[in-house]
Amino acid sequence: MRHVLDEFLYYLVVERGLAENTLLSYSTDLLQFIEYLEKRGVRGWEEVNHGLILAYIIQMQKQGRSPATISQHLAALKSLYSFLVRERLVGHNPTEYLESPRLPKRLPRVLTVEEVERLLAQPRVDTPAGLRDKAMLELLYATGLRVSQLVALNVDHIDLEGQFLRCLGKGSRERVVPVAPVACRHVEKYLLQARVKLAKDRGEPALFLNQQGRRLSRQGCWKIIKAYARSAGLQKEITPHTLRYSFATHLLENRADLRAVQELLGHADITATQIYTHLTQKKIREVYERAHPRA
């Protein structure tokens, strides 16, 4: 079973071009399922039936796994069995009629414009690290990039004169994102005054560098954001996507077209963008109830 799993993961890389994080998630989830099967004496994928998978789901529920986690495991299994059937490695698909558990629709937590301003004002721009952090925060809020996309940027991915950057989205799809003039100015200042001091190797392509002169990691960037959130006195729970969520919500609050916001975020499906409209509708409702004499 593990050998077949390796073939499946190779297929995901070569044929479907899935991102590294997605591959890691599939691999982890499917290895857990293999361990579950081995404990029950199952030695081949063709021996798996509908009942075995249901028992696995019930076990995860008893362990307190969230509906999102269970849905993720099922998605990996469904994708694997589609591959196995197509390659004629099994004769039936036991996941065919399985439905994922309903997920609660959770609205992302966003910052107000005033809270964003407080956060962006935190870095001290009299140090190389402060100039870097200021450029990072401004760029995140100006573009709606994921933190992983931000740290993956190279110097030649951003065109300060043209005010745009190139980044890779999910599925390794390249897209062009406009960059606000304010963010461009801070990135330019960082490049001229700070990056040259942080860089130890002139051949290093990364845009944002750590104190060792290497590419800043996603975890490193996230720690920096959390530290500035604390110093800004923000009481809300901050996640790596907080500035991305705030970027989208503030655009929609200022009447940006939903399709345009979809393009800016790099969402393949507009339903992924529509969750932000719930936030703006909620705000409209609050204004209405506060202002209308009959509300």
Average pLDDT across each block of 10 residues of the chain; the chain has 295 residues. List them in order: 91 82 90 93 90 90 87 91 92 82 62 94 96 96 90 95 85 79 96 95 94 94 94 87 86 74 64 56 53 51
> pLDDT tens digits, residue range 46-79?
999 988 998 998 899 889 888 888 888 998 999 9
Residue 247 has a pLDDT of: 87
List strands edge to edge, sheet with 164-168. Answer: 158-159, 164-168, 174-178
Burial track 31-60 (b if 16+ CB lie within 10 A, e otherwise): eebbebbeeeebeebeebeeebbeebbeeb
3 is catalytic: no
> pLDDT tens digits, residue range 96-148?
877 765 545 555 678 999 999 999 999 999 999 999 999 999 999 999 898 99
Residue 241 has a pLDDT of: 85
267 is catalytic: yes
Please tell me whether the overall predicted TM-score, pTM, comes out greater than 0.75 for this model: no
Q: Are 232 and 115 in contact (CB under 8 A)?
A: yes
- Cα–Cα distance, 248 to 17 (Å, whole number): 27
- Cα–Cα distance, 255 to 276 (Å, whole number): 12
Residue 101 has a pLDDT of: 59
244 is catalytic: yes
Residue 282 has a pLDDT of: 56
Q: Which of 170, 189, 218, 226 is catalytic?
A: 170
241 is catalytic: yes
Domains of the chain with CATH codes? 2-86 (1.10.150.130), 113-289 (1.10.443.10)
The DSSP-derived string for 106-167 is: PPPP---HHHHHHHHT-S-TTSHHHHHHHHHHHHHHHH---HHHHHT-BGGGEETTTTEEEE
276 is catalytic: yes
The mean predicted confidence, pLDDT, of the chain is 85
- Cα–Cα distance, 127 to 194 (Å, whole number): 8
Q: Tell me which residue of 233, 148, 159, 238 sits closest to 191, measured CA to CA.
A: 159
Q: Which of 134, 146, 157, 186 is catalytic?
A: 146
